[in-house]
Amino acid sequence: MMTNLFSIFDPSTNLMNLPMNWISTILGLLFIPYSFWLIPNRHFIMWNFISKKLHNEFKTLLKNNYFNGSTFIFISLFFFIFFNNFLGLFPYIFTSTSHLTMSLSLSMPLWLSFMLYGWIKNTNHMFIHMIPQGTPYILMPFMVIIETISNIIRPGTLAVRLTANMIAGHLLMTLLSKTGTNMSFYMIIILIFIQIMLMILESAVAIIQSYVITILSTLYYSEVN
Amino acid sequence: MSKLMFSQSSLVIIKLLWSKLSKFLTMIFRPFIQPRFNKQFLFVPNFILAHTSTCPASKPKCGASAGKGGTTSIKKIDFKRAEKSAPCRFGFIPEEWFQFFHSKTGVTGPYIFGLVFVNYLVSKEIYVLEHEYYSGLSYVVILYFISKKMAPGIGASLDKEVDAEIAEWEKGRADQMKVFETTIKDAKDAQWRAEGQKILIEAKKENVAMQLEAVYRERAMRLYQMVKGRLDYHVKKRRTENKLHQKWMIAWILENVHKSITADFQKQALNQAIKDLALAASRVK
């Protein structure tokens, strides 16, 4: 039952008081292709194509910090968030990334591990990175403060960006759809048309958000070393 | 001292008890602990089956059925993994459900059933047409258009990649076949050349035989000449002796005889010869 608009985001599938809708998080696992035969099928080729493209992208970004397998975590992060975002667009599937718990649980450990590694192992390097090249001497103290603040809010921005985008999209869709319950038949056709546009936008947003969060994580990782 | 002996004996007793207990426990719990070999278990790799078929511990005792006994070949798994998915209508309803209805309701049965079922759900408000429904509707339209317009193109390009991969494997196989065929051809050529060697050796044998014959003939000729030479020597020797006889003996005898023949003797001899002739002539008549 919808008490308010935001109750669409409430976990409401209960089994003995355990919230079961978080199981939609691992729904993306079912989309990973199998490789039973020697010759790949279309699904496998598509998956490989995307993975290879991402791998090349991240490898270019990491430059000297790349070791064999450094990109795996970022590629898996991408696919995880992408499936969660994308499948949440379907009706009756819970969008787990629209909850801050989920996004923060992803971004905070990543950022924290990067920061701890960087500050403990490469303290000088981290200090150097605070100030961009070519700043005048007068501005340096302010730069340090600004960079520190921007550094500290990074996990927040990563998580909240994802959550906010997902919430906004779903909210819009729900708002539009709610008007459809009390509409005449011909208005519904216009409504469906508008909703199609919105859906396309939301699908693009889903892909882009997952890509953005992964790219930023890669960047933060490359800055540390 | 006694403490030590006591501890030793107690140790022995404990060991004995433990062995008895462990035997008892394994006897009870064996059916639970032993892994069962279930033939219906899917995805069992070939080599495990092969191991259990040849493992001596699991061989049947004599007297038990020995249908496939003695073979060491790898057993084949009975089922095959399907290459394509089962046939279905609308992409998610399996064909078998339509066959299930067919005998009682014909071809339109399942569709009517689906329609009526949806009608029931909607009219009784078991399925409420709320915001999820309308967003789902728009999504269905999107998916329909994507599957009709863009999917064949994407499918074709992906199929090209698959074909490229297949072609690569086939090319490797074909290249290997070519290598093998070249090897076979070279081997056959070598065999043919080896047969030619036989002819060569025959010719060489003939050559050698001819040479031997030539030498033989040469030697035979030499032998003949030597023998002839010796015989010639004897002939020459006899002739020389004859000449000497002639010159020194016969010529002297004749010369002396001629000297001894007087004219008187000659006349007498002639007269006698005439008389003999006349006698002979008178006898002939």
pLDDT per residue over B234-269, tens digit each?
Answer: 999 999 999 998 888 888 888 898 888 888 989 999
Those residues with Cβ within 8 angstroms of residue A111's Cβ, 6 or more apart along the chain or in another chain: A154, A155, A158, A217, A220
Give domain status of residue A102, yes or no: yes
- Is A101 part of any domain? yes
| CA pair distance B268, B251, nearest whole angstrom | 25
Compute φ and ψ for B89, nearest 5 degrees.
Answer: -105, 150
Is residue A2, in this structure, part of any structural domain at all? no
Domain count, chain A: 1
Per-residue model confidence as pLDDT tens digits over A115-143: 999 999 989 989 888 888 888 889 888 98
Q: Is residue A73 part of a domain?
A: yes
Picking from B121, B129, B134, B147 by the largest number of A CB atoms within 10 A of its own CB, the best residue to mutate is B134
Range of the domain at A182: 7-224
ipTM associated with this complex: 0.80
Residues B32-62 pLDDT 10s: 666 555 555 445 445 444 455 555 655 555 5
- Inspect the interface and report whether the beta carbons of A174 and B129 lie closer than 8 Å: no
To test the contact with chain B by mutation, choose from A5, A37, A42 the residue with the greatest count of B C-beta atoms within 10 A, namely A42
Provide the pLDDT for residue A46.
92
Partners of residue B135 in chain A, C-beta under 8 Å: 91, 173-174, 176-177, 195, 199
In contact, A81 and A162? CB cutoff 8 Å: yes
Run of H or E including A15: strand A14-15
Q: Number of residue pairs across A and B with CB atoms under 8 Å?
A: 70
**pLDDT of B123 strictly over 90:** yes
Question: Does A36 map to a domain?
Answer: yes
Asked whether residue A1 is domain-assigned, the answer is: no
| Residue A41, both tokens | 């099928």
Domain assignment present for A67: yes
Share of residues in chain A with pLDDT > 70 (%): 98
A180·B134 Cβ contact <8 A: yes
Considering all CA atoms of chain B, what is the largest pairwise distance in Å, rounded to the nearest integer? 196
pLDDT of residue B50: 47
Cα–Cα distance, B106 to B103 (Å, whole number): 6
Partner B contacted by A184 (CB < 8 A)? no
pLDDT of A180 higher than 90: no
Phi/psi for A100 (5° steps) reads -65, -30
Q: Give the Cβ contact number of residue A144 at 10 Å.
A: 13
Does some domain include residue A214? Answer: yes
pTM of the model: 0.66
